[in-house]
Structure 1
Amino acid sequence: MKLPRAAALLVDFTRLLRRHDFPLSHEQVVMFLGAVRLLGPHSMDSIRQAALATLAPPVDRLSEFDALFRAFFCEEGDAVLAARSLPEEKAPVRDKGLGQDKPPEAGDTSRSGKAATAREMLNLRRFDERADDPAIGRLNKEAARALPRRRSFRKVASKDGEGLDLRRSLRRIVEHDGDVIALMRSRRKPTLRPIVLLIDISGSMKAHTADYLRYAHALTALAGKVETFTFGTRLTRITGALRRRRRDLALANASALVGDWDGGTRIGPALQSFLANPRYTALLRGAVMLVLSDGLERGDPAPMREAVARIARRAWHLAWLTPLAADPRFRPETAALKAILDYIDRLGSGGSIASLVEHTLKIGARP
């Protein structure tokens, strides 16, 4: 569907911000368009206020945000000069087209995962249909009793309940004309804990991406609340796509949603983008969070460490599952992985569906 010209211009601005490493989620872009519509684009200031309120640029990057805003919407001379003073890779460029990068050159893909390519591979990823992995069968069989649970606030009748069920007791007393036959007791009903999956789809994880998505699809069908996101150079929510019953259709829909398959890795900004959205942050309360990534972050590991620390304070269980740990000789040697060891509950193997299922079924045994 083709966007109206005014809306397309606003979307192009968010693409510009993403190209300059501002972490933005799809929901934030939608909220930005809605805010501009509510405020009315009467002036550049109203658009700027809508952008600040919904896109939430980091405080320490407000000057860069304003320079990009003026260069894009106003093309002011001082903004262009300010942009030129930035490093070349950060300099804002007004995109008068659709805001899309040029197709990547042959051999331009970063397979190491340590650096994101300047031109991302915006291609449609296709997944070969395979027979079910035996580990998926094990997950289907054991998940109902093994997945972690918590006590909900909903109460159910129980002879051995920890408290009185006043409502049912009063109803029974009324039914017996005021005679107290027996007081009813209740207990809090157990319910499955929500699960949040973050899947690294960068070039270095290409060999594992298909298995991770098959695992996520199977888990989504079994557990009540499962939210799945992918990240490479940006964060994408694919929960709705994976709720399709047929796996081939679910993976095809997910492939169409994601635009940064097999590119570079920006783990820290992706996690910060997740935390910048209040709706996503609310998902973490009492949840199990599994990050499926090799942890090969480029640049400063501080944003990744800070984001993982914030997630750990909210989630009930946080595990980082990396395919590198499938090797028994594996030791976390990168600065990023070392920085997060104090905040995660487990650094484990994510080298196969079987290892993912093994960890998933053991989470419920945690005291």
Structure 2
Amino acid sequence: MTAAVTATVTATVRGPDEILVGFTVALRAAGVPVTHDRAQSYLAAAALVDLGSVRGVYHAGRATLCASPADLLRYDQVYESYFDGRTGLPRDVVPVPRATHAPALELGGEGDDAAGPDADAEARRVAASRTELLRHRDVATLTANEKARLAALFATLDVRLPRRRAVRRRPWHRGAVDPSRTLRASLRRMGEPATIAWRRRAHRPRPVVLLVDVSGSMSSYADALLRLAHRFAQAGPAVETFTLGTRVTRLTRALAVRDPDRALVAAGAAVPDWSGGTRLGETLKAFLDRWGRRGLARGAVVVVFSDGWERGDARLLGEQVARLRLVAHRVVWVNPHRGKAGYEAVQVGVRAVLPHVDDFVAGHSLAAFAELTELVARA
């Protein structure tokens, strides 16, 4: 705790946690996207450093509360405004206007002809750096402008459906001898020996089933997950998409629309239980009873997007995931909190399903979605 915080606690009889939480509120008001998880990380980091060290508390906040280079300047301004080192009291927060557009690079001036190519290269480098930072940001913490930019980046995902060997065989330049084609070619030559024909087992896309949790705890990720589901749907006809909440809703037809924005509008109109409760066990049972036995999940790669918050019986959820594992080729559970620092699988729903899934992966950023698409393609 800094000397400023110590004096504040003495003067106003407030605890250090209250002072530090007030600082995170000031940062959020200044435009820094401080989430609940980041605030908790900040308090934990401040407790580990020497609370009498101004430098320690300052850098603990920079490391846990700032998500991009743009946040660093705001952090310094708010820190200077909030903690007054001369009086030892927090001062009134000076609002920092939130930038709605990236600052333009100054490319004009003397020597434009000579510096033009270098300036263009620098502009491209800065744009690429910002795009890379956005790819690794948690989609739940993005602003409206950042979400619009991220939506355009979904088109860059390389979505490929997994393949499986078919029963039928196809002509090939090597492999096993095709006796029927070889014999027919010989008969066309009046019994004279003909070139030996070869064949191999054909391959076809393996079905992919996406189950997206749209309950209240997943509402901040629902838009990004449905955009990802739309990318899978455009990769081929062997993709089925359902939403899980208080009921099961099939979105395969809605996501077949080529335009992603129109597809999401159609999906939103089809789902009646947005941001509702969570009954994963019951909805998975309904899915398996209605569509699992009919073959949609049989031999498929089933991807479940959920944070595992179960309001119903967790044992039922575990039983249904075990039942799903018996008919599916592979079960992948995607948890948006899996990729966050310090995450532990403590939810009863997550602990119930972990013994029955093949992969438990993160799903909170575009970079995590890219890793997921690669995992599905190799399944």
TM-score, normalized by the shorter chain, greater than 0.5:
yes
Q: In structure 2, which of residues 196, 219, 226 is the aligned counterpart of residue 206 of structure 1?
A: 219
Matching residue's letter, 2:215: S
Matching residue's letter, 2:370: V
Residue 293 of structure 1, CA deviation: 0.5
Structure 2 unaligned runs (5+)? 1-143
RMSD over aligned Cα atoms: 2.2
Distance across 2 between alignment mates of 1:346 and 1:211: 20
- Partner secondary structure for residue 281 of structure 2: helix
2:313 counterpart of 1:333: no
- Partner secondary structure for residue 200 of structure 2: strand
Matching residue's letter, 1:139: L
State the match for 1:139 in structure 2: 157
State the match for 1:258 in structure 2: 271
State the match for 2:327 in structure 1: 314
TM-score by length of 2: 0.58
- Partner secondary structure for residue 337 of structure 2: helix
| Maintained 8 Å contact 1:197/1:227 | yes
State the match for 1:302 in structure 2: 315
Structure 1 unaligned runs (5+)? 1-126
Residue 300 of structure 1, CA deviation: 1.7
Distance across 2 between alignment mates of 1:226 and 1:184: 35
Aligned counterparts, 1:40-189, within 5 A: 130-131=148-149, 133=151, 136-140=154-158, 143-144=159-160, 147-161=161-175, 163-189=176-202
CA deviation map 1:172-217 (0-9, x unaligned): 1222122231321111122221110000001111100000111111
Q: Which runs of 4+ in 1 moved over 3 A?
A: 131-135, 278-281, 363-366
State the match for 1:192 in structure 2: 205
Residue 131 of structure 1, CA deviation: 4.1
Report which structure shows greater RCO (CA 8 Å, sep ≥6). Answer: 1
> Which of these two proteins has the greater Rg computed from alpha carbons?
2
The structure where helix makes up a greater share of residues is 2
Aligned residues: 235
CA pair 255-364 structure 1, distance change in 2 beyond 3 A: closer
State the match for 2:77 in structure 1: none
Residue 357 of structure 1, CA deviation: 2.4
- Partner secondary structure for residue 264 of structure 1: coil
Distance across 2 between alignment mates of 1:363 and 1:238: 20
Matching residue's letter, 1:302: R
TM-score by length of 1: 0.60
| Maintained 8 Å contact 1:148/1:365 | yes
Distance across 2 between alignment mates of 1:199 and 1:280: 20
| Maintained 8 Å contact 2:278/2:312 | no
| Maintained 8 Å contact 2:206/2:300 | yes
State the match for 2:258 in structure 1: 245
Distance across 1 between alignment mates of 2:210 and 2:180: 39
